[in-house]
Structure 1
Amino acid sequence: MPDIIMAGAAGRLEGRYTPGKRDDAPIALILHPHPKARGDMNNAVAVQLYHLFMQRGFATLRYNSRGVGKSQGEYDSGIGELADAATALDWLQSQNPAATQTWVAGYQFGAYIGMQLLMRRPETDGFISVSPAANMYDFSFLAPCPASGLFLHGSADSIVPPVEVERVVTKLRSQKGIVIDYELVEGASHFWENHLHEVERRVGAYLDKRLEENPA
């Protein structure tokens, strides 16, 4: 799991990267929660997502957006952070030009940035959005959503009420050509204390299902 440095628009971006098990391994980019809430690439949910993809042979990258950890620059209200995500995906693709699939996974603020990135990168095959802040950010840009994916949320999330995420899911499910899975974990909070094993179990099961349907 080597440390890597990428050249971003606001300076260097630091990351952690695990190569895939094959030259044509699929790739996965992991996005962390909000920088202003001490979110970084070592957040427990982000690390869990990283390991889930890594264990399935993906070439997997997580990174710190601008102003976080050793990454240069300052928080940019999501605009610069989207540019950072694009930089990270470009780097990941440059390391894996023969990748069979491309996935994006994010938690909280990272889910919001990840879904924006998804709209700009039609080569993306799937996404994982954990606790997306659907009451804080406008997700109407998902029109249409270009890939199938999973929304995972906690029933006890007092920061983002489940009904807010369900509105987004309902809208996306009306689109043809994609399949949106939604799982609500009973008792889980926004921060997944004591429920991290459910992230592992549910996201892992979803990835296994998708990879069985369409081997990478």
Structure 2
Amino acid sequence: VAGRPLRDRALDRVEKAGIATAIVNAHYFADQIEAAVAARPGPLQIRVSDERGQLLETGGGVTKALPLIDADPFFVINADNMWIDGSADTLRLLAQRWDAKCMDALLLLVPLARAAGYDGRGDFHLDPVGAVSPRGEFRIAPFVFSGIQLISKRLFDGEAAEPFSMWRAWNKALASGRLYGAVHQGLWFHVGTPASIGETEVLLATA
């Protein structure tokens, strides 16, 4: 987007938040990804979780990367979105809101009306204390998952590095009332198609 890979934009935010280490999953064009992160300047240490043999989806990819992850909880950031901070650093704000007494996952949510490039029906409802519930049978839900979350390793206990969705981990948290959300105060862009790249570039130019 605007001449920069989404991966680098996300890594910029990670570095800005003061995080020392990032893990990048590599499947498609894995050689190019390894070369790009190796050549990236700056203090951020980047490790590569190799998925050349099999694409493991969102949950399985995290499970495979766990041996490389020192922090608990840790951030997971999807590659098909980008964001601009509001009045505070988004990742730092999530970390400040983390409460291990009641949370196993804290999702950054975007109001459906402000989800640029997104054409779905929303993902979650949010109650007054920040607990989330899925859209379920409702026609729409008021919040979209941004692709950014802080999550505990315990949700992956007993999981194998095989293809599975992040929903498997989220359902564990939902069952125990430990899935929470925080509303993003800045801008957010879903960049999942070639057409949405152009739309995002136009919005960035006017932001």
Normalised TM-score (structure 1): 0.32
Normalised TM-score (structure 2): 0.33
Greater RCO (CA < 8 Å, at least 6 residues apart): 2
Computing the radius of gyration from Cα coordinates, the structure with the larger value is 2
